[in-house]
Amino acid sequence: MSYPKTGHEVYVSLNLSNTMLTTLGRATITRDQVSADEMKRLFQKHGVIVSAKEEQLPILQVVTEKYGFEWELPQTLKLFQLSEDRRTLVVIMPQGLRRKGGSLLPEYSAEELEEATFMFVKYDVRSEQYEDLQARCSQLQQELAKKEAE
């Protein structure tokens, strides 16, 4: 089984960069660590688009096999920008791999890849402002308190 094509796919990448956010105006971005199972549920509902450089494909292949993801690995780098229509990104964060200047290296040995662990962080973009969300939450709490008092 592969994931559906919905037009609202979740992006997956090994990094988060400012260029992914350039089409956004003022927005609220939430960040949550998620499990592989949560990612699979997201992908089954919305679909998935994987974005990676050619040298990152061995890392993604390990993640694919280790967690049983049924995504297509890209033949070329797929650039994307988060927007109101396409607003969810999962960043795979490899742990235990050597880095240079904070960046992943272009190549790793099979042993290094086998020993690596992975964390998944989901970023959701919403056009609503944090302050507006807080105000609405406060209003709902007041309404609930009023109903409970009755």
pLDDT, position 41 = 94
Sign, CA dihedral 65-67-72-76, equals negative
Q: Which residues of the chain are under the pLDDT cut of 50?
A: none
d(CA 12, CA 109): 23
pLDDT, position 116 = 93
Sign, CA dihedral 87-1-32-78, equals negative
pLDDT, position 12 = 93
Residue 82 DSSP SS3? coil
What separation, in Å, do the N-terminal and C-terminal C-alpha atoms of the chain show? 52
pTM value > 0.75? yes
Helix (H) or strand (E) segment spanning residue 59: helix 57-67
pLDDT, position 141 = 93
d(CA 38, CA 143): 33
pLDDT, position 103 = 83
